[in-house]
Amino acid sequence: MARRKIVAGNWKMNKTPSEAVALAEELKPLVASDDVDVVFCVPAIDIIPVAEAVKGTNIAVGAENMYFEEKGAYTGEISPAMLVDAGVKYVVLGHSERREYFAETNETVNKKVLKAFEHGITPIMCCGESLEQREQGVTMDFIRQQVKVGLQNVTAEQAKTMVIAYEPIWAIGTGKTATTEQAQEVCAGIRACIAEVYDDATAEAIRIQYGGSVNAATAPELFAQADIDGGLVGGAALKPDFGKIVNYK
């Protein structure tokens, strides 16, 4: 059975609550699709108003981060229970910006992945190499480590339901995109890694997105690849063109 495509917009630190609702209203008719899962991953303060705005549509709401504790003295953090109560279905974990600017590690990402599963939230676990790592020829070594540590103690049944997003760091927000061949090669390598950790059935079930300057022009060719099951979209998710990415055929 073919894997269902999933296109998620990562809004990053953009849009006030009122702006977020206006964008959601604008995008709603444009991203209507029976064939693709659509997710708006929005800033924490926008989650509740956006969840209300997209109620009754095909759009699911995601968070951009989450802490791995249930509650407590963690000023500024947001718990999984808070996200669930606000209507969140997905959460982006381990984005390269979180790793680079906020010192997240493979180990903390793993804790968050496990906690998301405990609460029925689908993790979108990010991985990706820097330009230096690609030039050194260690892309797959680096990504395999991110994936293997991120999946510690995750069961095969859980893994089958999650999403992995491959985002080459050198292609995020730069306008550069990995070639279709580069993106497919790494996504295939991730799937092979999953097969090693679990089995072929789990590897076949898991959805792997490509992210990194995805736009309406590049989406059709990228999403046609055997191991690319959609996209994690940054800048283009804030524009009407996001509808063209979702309805890429």
pLDDT of residue 61: 98
pLDDT of residue 202: 97
Q: What is the pLDDT of residues 149-189, one digit of tens each?
A: 999 999 999 999 999 999 999 887 777 778 999 999 999 99
Q: Is the pLDDT of residue 28 over 90?
A: yes
User: What would the mean pLDDT of 115-138 be, rounded to a whole number?
Assistant: 95
Question: What gap in Å lies between CA 121 and CA 23, rounded to an integer?
Answer: 24
Nearest to 211 by CA among 162, 155, 169: 169
Question: What percent of the chain is modeled with pLDDT above 70?
Answer: 100
User: What would the mean pLDDT of 61-87 be, rounded to a whole number?
Assistant: 98
State how far the alpha carbon of 185 is from the alpha carbons of 140, 154, 192, 216, 222, in Å. Answer: 10, 25, 11, 21, 11
Q: Which domains does the chain have, with CATH numbers?
A: 5-246 (3.20.20.70)
pLDDT of residue 128: 96
Q: Which residues are marked as active site?
A: 95, 167
Question: What gap in Å lies between CA 249 and CA 203, rounded to an integer?
Answer: 25
